[in-house]
Amino acid sequence: MKSSSEKKGLLLVFTGPGKGKTTAALGILFRSLGRGLKCGVVQYLKGKWETGERKFAKTIPDLEFYVMGLGFTWESDDLDRDKEAARKAWQKSKEMILSGMYKIIVLDEITYAFHYGWLEPEEVLQTLSDKPKDLHIIITGRNCPSIITDSADLVSYIESPKHPYKNGIPAQIGIDY
Ligand code: ATP
Ligand code: MG
């Protein structure tokens, strides 16, 4: 049994069809920021709307928050442009991971880049094998590939037994964006 005070950088995955993946990751950042830990986020998808978390992130000195995606792919008419955005997001993520400056990095919706074949999960795992020992990584998004979940220390799969959208209730400010 290892000592409970031992520091270990974990790989956490929040996946599944239910709501709460990105917000679970942001909840951990809230906790970490309270501990004075330097945090980073790279968002691989950018929706039409500004989100509350992006606005708030600008006010927090210990948080670097990058939105690198070029729009929801299903809104986009240019897949090459989205691929380019995903590759740039990964370059930024890689720099941050290897910089040694952060204690936690969230790769938000990176699973979409895997899904569209813009980024290989193996490439991400290779970079994670070179990361600083005490850096925690959080991956979010639906349909996380098993090669990633197999390597993870924690996997939470969020189901969707109910969602207001199914009853025709639109996204609510503060709850969804
Ligand atoms: P959140 O950012 O609220 O934690 P998420 O990261 O789990 O959500 P995504 O797959 O990134 O979910 O989807 C983002 C948006 O889609 C959110 O506005 C969320 O409310 C909505 N959404 C998430 N799950 C569902 C669902 N099962 N049905 C309909 N809309 C959903
Ligand atoms: Mg999300």
Domains in the chain, ordered, with CATH?
11-159 (3.40.50.300)
pTM of the full structure: 0.92
Nearest atom (ligand 1) to Cα of 109: 11
Question: Looking at residue 48, what is its pLDDT?
Answer: 72
Question: Looking at residue 41, what is its pLDDT?
Answer: 98
| DSSP letters for the chain | ---TT-----EEEEESSSS-HHHHHHHHHHHHHHTT--EEEEES---SS--HHHHHHTT-TTEEEEE---S-GGG-S-HHHHHHHHHHHHHHHHHHHHHS--SEEEEETHHHHHHTTSS-HHHHHHHHTTS-TT-EEEEE-SS--HHHHHH-SEEEE---S--GGGGTPPP-TTTT-
Q: Write the pLDDT tens digit of every residue in 79-104.
A: 778 888 999 999 999 999 999 999 99
Q: Write the pLDDT tens digit of every residue in 99-143.
A: 999 999 999 999 999 999 999 999 999 999 999 999 999 999 999
Test site for ligand 1: of 19, 43, 44, most ligand atoms within 8 A of the Cβ: 19
Percent of the chain whose predicted confidence (pLDDT) is above 70: 93
